[in-house]
């Protein structure tokens, strides 16, 4: 690669990185999700995620998405700065349907859905939901950012 091309590429990469960082800083509160399938060693493409608001004994589906090839909702965040507010939420992953679709042999008494229930107390703070799944075990958390 010649020096001129390298400098243009480096400048473009820095601009994209800076713009993405600035957007993330300005974006404020949001909820993002990412599903990694440790069984196949790839992002979980085709995983259905239902995202619900919970009040008392009732819940309301806010969004239902199917993950893209990167294991993320293709429409972007589950909640955006315009839609996020303090409260209790659930992310429901339909893992049995996903593993049947990819042809995995499921163990007896397999969990059909993975439900993560959590509270948002600060709607200005970004929240990230990383999921790691296999047919035998699942790992999840709620992380800032």
Reading the block at residue 97, the tokens are 């349907």
3-state SS, 19-64, equals HHHHHHHHHCCEEEEEEEECCCCEECCCCEEEEEEEECCEEEEEEE
- Residue 4 inside a domain? The answer is no
- The total of structural domains in the chain comes to 1
Return d(Cα 104, Cα 47) in angstroms, integer. Answer: 14
Token pair of 42 as six digits:
């790839």
Q: Around Cβ 70, how many Cβ atoms within 10 Å?
A: 13
* Domain presence at residue 1: no
pLDDT digits (tens, 9 = 90+) for 49-106: 999 999 999 999 999 999 999 999 999 999 999 999 999 999 999 999 999 999 998 8
Confidence of residue 145 (pLDDT cuts 50, 70, 90): low
Residue 16: inside a domain, yes or no? no
pLDDT band of 11, cuts 50, 70, 90: very low
Residue 85 inside a domain? The answer is yes
Residue 133 lies in a domain: yes
Average pLDDT over residues 116-133: 96
Parent domain of 87: 29-144
| Whole-number pLDDT of residue 109 | 79
């Amino acid at each position: 690669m010649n020096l001129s091309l390298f400098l243009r590429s480096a400048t473009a990469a820095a601009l994209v990185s800076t713009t993405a960082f600035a957007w993330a800083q300005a974006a404020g509160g949001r909820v993002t999700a990412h599903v990694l399938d440790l069984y196949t060693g790839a992002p979980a493409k085709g995983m259905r995620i239902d995202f619900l608001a919970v009040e008392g004994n009732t819940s309301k589906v806010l969004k239902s998405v199917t993950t893209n090839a990167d294991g993320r909702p293709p429409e972007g965040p589950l909640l955006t700065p315009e839609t996020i507010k303090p409260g209790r939420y659930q992310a429901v992953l339909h893992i049995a349907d996903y593993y049947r679709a990819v042809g995995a042999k499921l163990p007896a008494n397999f969990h059909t859905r993975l439900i993560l229930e959590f509270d948002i107390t600060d709607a200005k703070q970004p929240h990230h939901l990383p999921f790691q799944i296999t047919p035998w075990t699942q790992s999840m958390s709620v992380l800032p950012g």
